[in-house]
């Protein structure tokens, strides 16, 4: 196990990619704090399952990523529970699909808060401890939309491009402290986030469900198949290993070739 004696906070990990990342880090021996929303009984099942399956400590933080004080509190709680936060995975994210002229202002604010500002607040709170211990790994789930745009996703594309800039900046600030800071940029991963945007995309483009999947989502990906949450998680585990210590300030694609085109 490559991550024994490490502790990780994974935001937005009650579902989808984040849950797969938390489980993969735990499998490698890391204690994990999961975070996100959902039915309490479902969250408890996942949390207890991680402890039982991998023999690590797992706790859940209900911190809302739109609330800076709750984000700082989440990092402080993890530091107190685990003795430090070695790995921060900024993964919480939401999507909204609409033409710019109809884009609800509150959706813009919410996406910028969760997908971008939360990354700033969590980095700000966890870097001092990482610097003090001389080791840290920060991985933020950006997106192929941190490199290229698609219509109707103004807030999401703006937030994801900005995560790239923030990560590069913090990578430079922490480069001599044993800390790496990277973004990963998945293409389409089959999760509730993708499932839920299908009705909005059907409406925005006047298409059927099958047309959205086959003509909008998958054509972007030369492999013509979805990335899996487990593939993204394995990539994160590698970035958290000692073998990856020279990879910092990078925005790494895992997108079936999408952004090569
Ligand atoms: P998901 O909807 O399955 O999971 C999102 C998670 O974020 C959930 O745990 C949810 O509870 C949590 N969350 C939402 N709002 C929150 C808030 N205010 N505070 C705390 N937690 C909150 O989505 P996913 O597809 O697994 O997406 C995870 C990340 O991956 C996102 O940042 C997304 O932009 C990114 N991403 C997804 C894809 C994809 O195709 N699914 C592609 C590229 C990037």
Is residue 180 domain-resident? yes
- Angstrom distance (rounded) from CA 138 to CA 166: 12
- Look at ligand 1, atom 6, and give the residue with the nearest C-alpha: 12
Is residue 31 domain-resident? yes
Is residue 12 domain-resident? yes
Residues in Cβ contact with 61 at an 8 Å cutoff, skipping those fewer than 6 apart: 9, 33, 34, 35, 74, 77, 78
Is residue 200 domain-resident? no
- What are 83-120's pLDDT values in tens digits? 999 999 999 999 999 999 999 999 999 999 999 999 99
Q: Are 111 and 152 in contact (CB under 8 A)?
A: no
Q: What is the pLDDT of residue 146?
A: 98
Is residue 249 domain-resident? yes
- Number of neighbouring beta carbons within 10 Å of residue 229: 21
CATH number for position 153: 3.40.50.720
- Angstrom distance (rounded) from CA 78 to CA 83: 8
Query: Residue 125's pLDDT band (boundaries 50, 70, 90)?
Result: very high
Q: What is the mean pLDDT of the chain?
A: 97
Tally of structural domains, the chain:
1
- What are 131-178's pLDDT values in tens digits? 999 999 999 999 999 999 999 999 999 999 999 999 999 999 999 999
* Cα end-to-end span (Å), the chain: 37
Q: Classify the phi-psi angles of 97: left when phi > 0, otherwise alpha if psi is within -120 to 50, otherwise beta.
A: beta
Q: Which of 17, 74, 149 for mutating ligand 1's site (highest number of atoms within 8 Å of CB)?
A: 17
Whether 197 shows a pLDDT value over 90: the answer reads: no
Is residue 204 domain-resident? no
For ligand 1, is residue 256 a contact (CB within 6 Å)? Answer: no
Average pLDDT over residues 234-253: 98
Whether 1 shows a pLDDT value over 90: the answer reads: no
Query: Residue 58's pLDDT band (boundaries 50, 70, 90)?
Result: very high
Whether 247 shows a pLDDT value over 90: the answer reads: yes
The domain of 111 spans 7-188+228-260
Of 220, 209, 230, the closest CA to residue 255 belongs to 220
Query: Residue 22's pLDDT band (boundaries 50, 70, 90)?
Result: very high
Is residue 222 domain-resident? no
Whether 220 shows a pLDDT value over 90: the answer reads: no
The model's pTM: 0.96
Q: How far is the CA of 56 from the centre of ligand 1 (A)?
A: 24
Task: Clarify whether 188 is annotated catalytic.
Answer: no
Q: What is the pLDDT of residue 216?
A: 87
């Amino acid at each position: 196990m490559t991550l024994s004696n490490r502790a990780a906070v994974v935001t937005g990990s009650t579902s989808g990619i984040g849950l797969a990342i938390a489980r993969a880090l735990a499998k490698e021996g890391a204690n994990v704090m999961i975070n996100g929303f959902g039915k309490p009984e479902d969250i408890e099942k996942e949390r207890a399952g991680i402890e039982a399956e991998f023999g690590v400590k797992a706790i859940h933080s209900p911190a809302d990523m739109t609330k800076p004080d709750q984000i700082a509190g989440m990092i402080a709680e993890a530091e107190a529970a685990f003795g430090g936060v070695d790995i921060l995975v900024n993964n919480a994210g939401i999507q909204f699909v609409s033409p710019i002229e109809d884009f609800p202002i509150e959706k813009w604010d919410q996406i910028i808060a969760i997908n971008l500002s939360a990354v700033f607040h969590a980095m700000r709170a966890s870097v001092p401890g990482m610097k003090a211990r001389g080791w840290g790994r920060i991985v933020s789930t950006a997106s192929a939309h941190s490199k290229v745009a698609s219509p109707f996703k103004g807030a999401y594309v703006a937030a994801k491009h900005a995560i790239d800039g923030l990560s590069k900046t913090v990578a430079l600030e922490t480069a001599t402290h044993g800390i790496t800071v990277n973004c990963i940029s998945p293409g389409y991963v089959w999760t509730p986030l993708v499932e839920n945007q299908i009705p909005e995309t059907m409406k925005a483009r006047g298409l059927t469900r099958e047309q959205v999947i086959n003509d909008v989502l998958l054509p972007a990906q030369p492999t013509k198949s979805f990335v899996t949450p487990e593939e993204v998680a394995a990539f994160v585990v590698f970035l958290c290993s000692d073998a990856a210590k020279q990879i910092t300030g990078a925005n790494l694609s895992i997108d079936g070739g999408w952004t090569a085109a």
